Chain A
Amino acid sequence: MNDAGYWSIFLNAALVNNFVLAYFLGICPFFGVSARLETAVRMSGAVSFVMLVASVCAFGINLILEAINAPYLRIISYILVISSTVQLVEMLMRKLSPPTFRALGIFLPLITTNCAIFGLALFQTNKGYGFTQAIVYALGAGAGFALALVLMAGIREKLDLADVPEIFKGTAAALVVAGVLSMGFMGFAGLGR
């Protein structure tokens, strides 16, 4: 049972140990979707929602696994639940908001292999968070992911118009920007303790 306070958990997940910039989770969509601000915002929304659901599911699954003493099933059960959740979100989105669904395109199913969501479930189990703590953690992680993604998209949109050498274009430049962003976020260390 973890003693951390809610505000501290939220700040930690969003800023101090930002999932993208500190843990390197969710890099694929980070570099894939962050070229345009609009898609970045939509992707963040989808990822945040899936994170919330995944966090709750992981908490429930962990209770069951501990009851039947089968820790070795953790990886396989988490990933199966997460993929099913993503399928569900995809179906719901297709029904409720077709334009958003079309805008996200290939990225929605890619959330399945989004390390960030699986990583969230794993970290939360390792830290031994309770139910409310898990929810706060997921909210924080989603907020942090959104923040990093939006920041990155804004910078990349500007970078596209700049005069960048050929070999630098695309991922290499994005990586350097990410590195600098990551250094910036290190300034949050110690916040909310």
Chain B
Amino acid sequence: MNTPVPVQQKQTTTWEMYRSIVGIGAFCALLIVSVYQGTAERIADNKARFLSSAIAQVLPAVRSTVEVSLDANGALVAATSPANLPVFLGYDEDGDLVGAVITAQAMGYADNITVLYSYSFDLKAIVGFKVLESKETPGLGDKVEIEPHFLANFEALDARLSDDGAALVNAIVTVKQGEKTEPWQLDGITGATITSDAIGVILNQGSSYWLPALERDARDFQPPQPSEE
């Protein structure tokens, strides 16, 4: 009959604790930083390609873009670092200002919807629209991306500013499907009311924020080094 042998519990010293935690920490840090550095360029490329193809869809005449932001006084300046929701000025091959491309987001049905849209200075209207990110219900909310009569809203969605250039004359708003009477209204989608309402809110908020500054400063804006498409 075997008598149970008492198991010797090895006492861990403080030195061993420190050694292991610091060691693990160093190993983890090394790995994380190497992978981060190793993939950083590829990720930046991916993001740039994604964005430029999206911009080409909403403003086809664009050949080069400059990312812009607002400085402390609200004046338009070239962006020093890429923003989360970037805004661009678009120029054609002759270097003439074609329009502005704005990213904006707001809460939809399921989660935030991020949208890219283009504004034409000549028409004073929104002329292109693309959903960048959405977690809306497939087959219902995501109709805003493909439904023809909804996309027809963006042939020239009126976004005129008031005379003092401080705000939109008429707020962009989504109305029930079939009830659109004014050029600044969005004809909604029945069955996807919340999502189409959200698009209206996004466009309204984004435009109210950016268009005053864009209308005021964009034509005189000197692009430092326009980035090639």
Contacts and interface: CB of A to CB of B under 8 A. Distances in A.
Touching in the complex, A and B, CB below 8 A?
Answer: yes
Interface of A: 3-4, 8, 12, 17, 22, 72-73, 76, 127-128, 189-190, 193
A4 B32 contact: no
Interface residues of B, number: 14
A189 B205 CA distance: 22
Contacts of B35: 72
Question: Is chain B's interface secondary structure helix, strand, loop, or mixed overall?
Answer: helix
Interface in B184-205: 193-194, 205
Given A12-B107, A189-B194, A127 B112 contact: yes
Contacts of B110: 17, 22
B32 A73 contact: yes
Contacts of A12: 107
Contacts, number: 23
Main secondary structure of the interface of A (DSSP, over half): loop
B194 A76 contact: no
B50 interface: no
B194 A72 contact: no
A4 B28 CA distance: 37
Given A17-B111, A76-B28, A190 B194 contact: yes
9 contacts: A3-B205, A12-B107, A17-B111, A72-B32, A72-B36, A76-B32, A127-B112, A189-B194, A190-B194
Contacts of A8: 107
Contacts of B111: 17
Interface in B52-103: 84
B17 interface: no
